[in-house]
Amino acid sequence: MLASATRKLGEGAVFWKAMGLTCAESSSVPAWQRDQAEHLWMPYTQMRNAPLPLPVVATEDVYLVLADGRRLIDGLASWWTACHGYNHPQIARRVRQQLEVMPHVMLGGIHHEGAVTLAARLASLLPGDLSQVFFSDSGSVAIEVAMKMAAQMWRNRGQAERNRFVTFRHAYHGDTTGAMSLCDPERSMHAHFKGFLLEQFSQPIPETESEQAAFTEFLATRRNELAAVVIEPLVQGAGGMRFHSPQALAAVARMTRQAGLLLIADEIATGFGRTGSMFACEQADIVPDILCLGKALTGGTLGMAATVATGEVFEAFCGEDDALALMHGPTYMANPLACAAAHGSLDLFAEQPRLDQVAAIESSLAEQLESCRNLSGVVDVRTLGAIGVVQVERLHSREKLTELFVEAGIWLRPFHDMFYLTPPLSITPVQLRRLTAATVDSIAQWSRWS
Ligand SMILES: Cc1ncc(COP(=O)(O)O)c(C=O)c1O
């Protein structure tokens, strides 16, 4: 059976399978991985020559547990999701209780308590009049919904030609086609889809006075075809972990407002404390018209996202004509288990000093990563909230690095031109020191390989 499966899947799988079989002598490759891994198509992976992924069999606190029992401190919190660490008992209890009562129910024509109370709870936490919550199942879909909301708002107001978006260099907003169109068209991983995607306008983030004047002029000239400006507030994540100042963010918000456009804040990565405040927009004292949430919304438990609009945006969808309504409805939207997990996570934000912990993580990361600055090949070290970045001239030897990290008891996944850390916000000072010491040590060894 295996031989035919391998043939069916082609050359790419052969390499992987060969790797698996070679490793099979070692006890670290479990049978399920050794015998069946070639069927699983991995994300962002060249399947032809990718090394066998790490077999993770359990999670606990800030640890990933490997099949052979080794425990790695997760320096990424599973792509920024596990903000309270893994398997938090309060979240697990909520989800277990919900599982007994009602794992899922469609939202069309039906209300359930978890969805109604979660929407109200998010509205009360978010700044300003961000009060109308539309749930979906992933960040990319939340972005699609935000784009549709913005375009339809103008349509409903009789301005159907206003349907293009202004985004920023190095932006990343997800992997579905609408979201891909908002990513940097030249530098992002989606750049080779040029011609397939909707064409938007990509601008530099205007930091200086002259850049702001140019941005204002750009908005004025294109105003009549534009629906909204879309920004990842304070941190551009997958586009390179680039930070901008609250002042620049506030200026973008001001210029967008002056041009009469909507502002969409993509807080899918930054929301829920990551940058030091519950939402990054708070640091610039701005209220966008539409705000997207995801990732840490359920504390890393289940896929869930939300697109939240102000009352003013929502108003454009209300009226006598049914065609004014938002025609969108993911099958699993507001899944009751995900709502329960999100409530559990928000309970923890209310009860635990998470934002104080983020402040402490920020200063520890800044202090403990500083020594990387002097290493050969390192061009920058920067931190913001619970995000630490060591940027290098050129990332190389990624496979060897993974081995090094695992030996050192940590899990990191450097990409682009950088090493980055986004640990659970609940990580203890001792665990954080172990993570940063192993990171610095590994980067020092890596820098000697160049
Ligand atoms: C800023 C931002 N927006 C959108 C997304 C897409 O979210 P998802 O992967 O849940 O579709 C991501 C994912 O990394 C992100 O960082």
| Residue 330 contacts residue 142 (beta carbons within 8 Å) | no
Question: Where does CATH 3.40.640.10 sit in the chain?
Answer: 89-351
Ligand 1 contacts CB of residue 174 (under 6 A):
yes
Which long-range contacts does 394-403 make (Cβ < 8 Å, 24+ apart)? 396/449, 396/450, 397/446, 397/449, 399/51, 400/446, 400/449, 401/442, 401/446, 402/51, 402/54
Contacts (Cβ under 8 Å, ≥6 apart) of 408? 438, 441, 442
CATH number of 2-86+354-447: 3.90.1150.10
Write the pLDDT tens digit of every residue in 241-279: 999 999 999 999 999 999 999 999 999 999 999 999 999
How many angstroms is it from 268 CA to the middle of ligand 1? Answer: 6
Fold observed for domain 89-351: Aspartate Aminotransferase; domain 2 (3.40.640)
Burial 291-323 (b: 16+ CB within 10 A, else e): bbbbbbbbbbbbbbbbbbbbeebbebeeeeeee
Cβ–Cβ < 8 Å for 156, 317: yes
Q: Which atom of ligand 1 is nearest to the CA of 176?
A: 11
Portions of the chain given CATH number 3.90.1150.10: 2-86+354-447
Three-state SS string across 311-364, please?
A: HHHHHCCCCCCHHHCCCCCCCCCCCHHHHHHHHHHHHHHHHCCHHHHHHHHHHH
Is residue 143 classed as helix, strand or coil in its secondary structure?
helix
300-323 residue pLDDT tens: 999 999 999 999 999 999 999 999
Q: Residue 19 pLDDT more than 60?
A: no
Write out the two tokens for 428: 């203890």
The lowest-confidence range among 112-116, 192-196, 226-230, 405-409 is 192-196
Give residue 17's pLDDT band: very low, low, confident or very high (50, 70, 90). low
Substitution site in 145, 172, 184, 236 for ligand 1 pocket (most atoms within 8 Å of beta carbon):
172
- By most ligand atoms within 8 Å of CB, the mutation choice from 268, 293, 420 for ligand 1 is 268
User: Active site includes 172?
Assistant: yes
Q: Looking at 137, 172, 184, 420, which residue is catalytic? A: 172
b (16+ CB within 10 A) / e for 217-250: ebbeeeeeebbbbbbbbbbbbbbbbbebebebbe
**Distant-in-sequence, close-in-space partners of 188: CB < 8 Å, separation ≥ 6:** 170, 171, 172, 238, 239
pLDDT in tens, 32-58: 999 999 999 999 999 999 999 999 999
Binning pLDDT at 50, 70 and 90, where does residue 188 land? Answer: confident
Q: Each residue of 71-90: pLDDT tens digit?
A: 999 999 999 999 999 999 99
Give Cα 65 to chain centroid, integer Å: 23
295 in active site:
yes
Q: Could you tell me if the CB of 294 is within 6 A of ligand 1?
A: yes
Tell me the three-class secondary structure of 231-282, residue by residue. ECCCEECCCCCEECCHHHHHHHHHHHHHCCCEEEEECCCCCCCCCCCCCHHH
Q: Which of 135, 140, 183, 413 to mutate to test the pocket of ligand 1 (most atoms within 8 A of CB)?
A: 140
Atom of ligand 1 nearest to the CA of 303: 10
Both structure tokens of 89: 């008992």
332: annotated active-site residue:
no
